[in-house]
Structure 1
Amino acid sequence: MYFAALLARTEDGWEASDTELDDVEALSDLTDLARDASVDEDTVLVYIEQEDAWFGVVRVDGEEDPRIYVSDAAAAARSSYGEILLTDELLGREPGAEDEIAALEELVGLEDDEADDPEFGHGDDGATARRAVEADDDPDAVPAGPIGDASILADLGLSEQALLTLRTDALAEIADALGADEVLESVR
């Protein structure tokens, strides 16, 4: 079970709203959702959690690139919403690496007669491509534990150290540090 909320900073404090992520397929969709909730291009936080397994915070300040923090990247990688937050940049991967992996996986599925063709695998029945896919398909490719900008909320009252120690009920702790606990309760 997921819970997602938007916290938008206004002149008068924070406004909170729960949000549906059904139409969100990429980080750009999530960023657009946050910008739509923004008042005068002020800070908007998108909070996503999955039943105490992991949580993520995306911070959008006006037209700046979003800043992201995920409490447990390995747990988030097993989640469709977590995958949205785990961008190539955040994971330190080359953009498009997934496309290369898909191309290698396609080579692994070649018919034997195609694999003998020099154009398709140099006669090794796709073994080289298979080894490359297996090497890139390493479960350690997504680190366990926190990833991203741990100082994402530091200027708003939650230090990097405090954020790194949050595990369960993180949203309540974050809202308390921001002074937004009452508005958050209205949407929870």
Structure 2
Amino acid sequence: MYFAALLARTEDGWEASDTELDEVETLADLADLAREAAVDDDTVVAFIEQEDAWFGVIRVDGEDDPRVFLSHAAAASRSSYGAMLTDELLGRDDDEADDLDSLNLDGTEDGEPETDDNPEDNDTIDPVNGSGSPAIPYGPLGDAALLADLGIGEKELLSLNGDALSVIADSLGCSTDVLESVR
């Protein structure tokens, strides 16, 4: 189950709106959706969360390229929206992303025996199994400083878990009630 919301900065503070991701297939689609919610090309912060397994923050400032942070890339890569963002951050193309379709939720390929290795002992997980694609980090991925000028430093963002989106909204000066109203 996903939760997705957009926070658009206005003259009067932050305005929250929930968003449907049904038509979102790429980061560009998500950025376009955020730009539609923008007031006077001001900052929009998009949140995506999957049942406390991972969260993503996407910042769109006018026509600038979106900036993305994922709290747990390996977990995110096992879900459709998380895989989309992970692929974008790692520079994977659509053909490589199609290889993810053969993965089980545990990250092994169909028919591949699972190993006893603890993924937390590894720095990265390579779900494409030897294809030469960049490995997916077991942990955060992306621009951890994307909210630094809005009051959430890199260190603070990297330490968040659990109800991270409420903490982020509160730090931005957006009341938790505003975010919760769209949850």
Instruction: Select which of 130, 142, 159 maps to 1:135.
Output: 130
Alignment of 1:152-163 (within 5 A): 152-163=146-157
TM-score normalized by the length of structure 1: 0.76
Partners of 1:55 and 1:100 lie apart in 2 by 23
The one-letter code sitting in structure 1 at the alignment partner of 2:85 is L
Matched residues, percent identical?
A: 65
Aligned to 1:106: none
Change (3 A) 1:25 1:7: same
Contact 1:44 1:61 in 2 (8 A): yes
> In the alignment, which residue of structure 2 is the partner of 1:186?
181
Unaligned runs of 5+ in 2: 101-127
Query: Residues 94, 86 of structure 1: CA spacing in aligned structure 2 closer, same or farther, 3 A cutoff?
Result: closer
Structure 1 contact 17–187 (Cα < 8 Å) conserved: yes
Number of residues paired by the alignment? Answer: 155
Superposed displacement of residue 56, structure 1: 0.2
Q: How many angstroms does 1:98 deviate by?
A: 1.8
Counterpart CA distance in 1 for 2:2 and 2:99 is 29
| Gapped regions of structure 1 (runs ≥ 5) | 103-132
Identify, as 1 or 2, the structure richer in helix.
Answer: 1
User: Residue 145 of structure 1 aligns to which amino acid in structure 2?
Assistant: G
- The separation in 2 between residues aligned to 1:169 and 1:16, in whole angstroms, is 17
Q: Show the counterpart of 1:176.
A: 170
Q: RMSD across aligned C-alpha pairs, in angstroms?
A: 2.3
* Post-superposition offset of 1:68: 0.2
Corresponding residue number in structure 2 for 1:98? 96
How far residue 185 of structure 1 moved from its aligned partner, in angstroms, is 2.2
Check the 8 A contact 2:59/2:67 in 1, yes or no.
yes
Shift of 1:158: 0.8
Distance 1:99 1:81 in 2: 12
1:101–1:136 Cα contact (<8 Å) kept: no
Rg larger in structure = 1
Distance, in Å, in 2 between the alignment partners of 1:59 and 1:158 is 13
Task: Find the aligned partners of 1:8 and 1:57 in 2 and give their Cα distance.
Answer: 13
Q: TM-score, structure 2 length as denominator?
A: 0.78
